[in-house]
Amino acid sequence: MDWPFLARTAGELLTGVPLTLQLTGIALCAGFVLAASVAALAHNRLAPLRWLARLYVGLFQGTPLLVQIFIIYYGFGQIEYLRSSFLWPFLAQAYWCAIIALSLNTSAYGAEIIRGAIAAVPRNEIEAAQAMGMSGFLLRRRIIWPQALRYGLANYGNEAILLLKATSLASVITLMDVTGIAYRLVSKTYRSEEIFTISGMIYLSLTFVIVGCVHMLERWLLPRNRV
């Protein structure tokens, strides 16, 4: 074992962790807001809006994330209108393209989770609350959202792990996250086993951190689930 090399490599790979976490965190938050909006559309009374939500989910779930990244990073530059708009300073940077693609992608999966969680709230509880005179925001805040959180939190935690893994694709459009640095180091030293094993261990530890956070959130938000 070449310990000095391993230590040096681990040190260099760890400098990519902030970017990986940044991509994950920003896409998770932006994705959640989008997902909640799409899920709200999916429950709308108007059929065309429901179709729109289904189309959105179908488009982003049905195509590879890499294709979505390429369309945003390479494809959007072709649209003259976008090039002259205020969005261009963002779309010209790989960083923002990755964040946009990851947020849109995760929001499609998140929307399905939220929709499922809200649909899982027992009908009779909602009716009971309505019989007590609750409606609108009060009904949502007191009955629907807390119950939906109970059903959806674990699934959303899984989605966060998938998102963490997905951020590695940002390295394909030149971002220097953990995977990007690993690739650069491998093409310099050709010691692929060591480098990719260490990067794998970094991702695995980050996965465990997310699992731990979700458990903590569950205990904090859902005290009645405690055993």
Partner 1 sequence: MNTSSLTLVGFGPDGWGKLLVIAAGLTLIAALCSFAIGGLLGTAGAALKLSSAPLLRWIGTFYTTVLRGIPEILIVYLFYFGGSLALTHLMHLAGFPGFFSLPSFVIGVVAIGLVSGAYQTEAYRSAYLRLDRGQIEAGKACGMSRTVLLWRIIAPQTLRFALPALGNIWQSVLKETALLSIIGLVELLRQSTIASGATRQPLLFYGTAALLYLLMGQLTGFGIRSVEKRLGRCWER
Residues binding partner 1 (CB under 8 A): 58-59, 61-68, 70-71, 74-79, 161, 165-166, 168-169, 171-172, 179, 182-183, 186, 190, 192-193, 196-197, 199-200, 203-204, 207-208
Rounded least distance, CB 112 to partner 1, Å: 11
Q: Give CA–CA dist 145/159, Å, rounded.
A: 19
Query: Quick one: 143 or 182, whose CB is closer to partner 1?
Result: 182
Q: What share of the chain is helix, strand, coil (3-state, %, to 5)?
A: 85, 0, 15
Measured CA to CA, the distance from residue 148 to residue 118 in angstroms comes to: 5
Nearer to partner 1, 61 or 225 (CB): 61
Contact 203, 164 (CB under 8 A): yes
CA dihedral over 197, 198, 199, 201, signed as positive or negative: positive
Are the C-beta atoms of residues 206 and 141 closer than 8 Å to each other? Answer: no
Nearer to partner 1, 84 or 124 (CB): 84
Give the nearer residue to partner 1 in terms of CB position, either 64 or 212: 64
Cβ at position 208, least distance to partner 1 in Å: 8
Rounded least distance, CB 111 to partner 1, Å = 16
- Kindly state the smallest distance separating residue 156's Cβ from partner 1, in Å: 17
Q: Which residue number, 15 or 63, has a Cβ lying nearer to partner 1?
A: 63
Contact call for residues 60 and 38 (beta carbons, < 8 A): no
- Residue 177 · residue 206 · CB < 8 Å: no
Shortest distance, position 223 Cβ to partner 1, whole Å: 28
CA distances (Å), origin 66, targets 41, 61, 94, 184, 195:
26, 12, 13, 19, 23
Q: Which is nearer to partner 1, 86 or 190 (CB)?
A: 190
CB of 146 to partner 1, least distance (A): 28
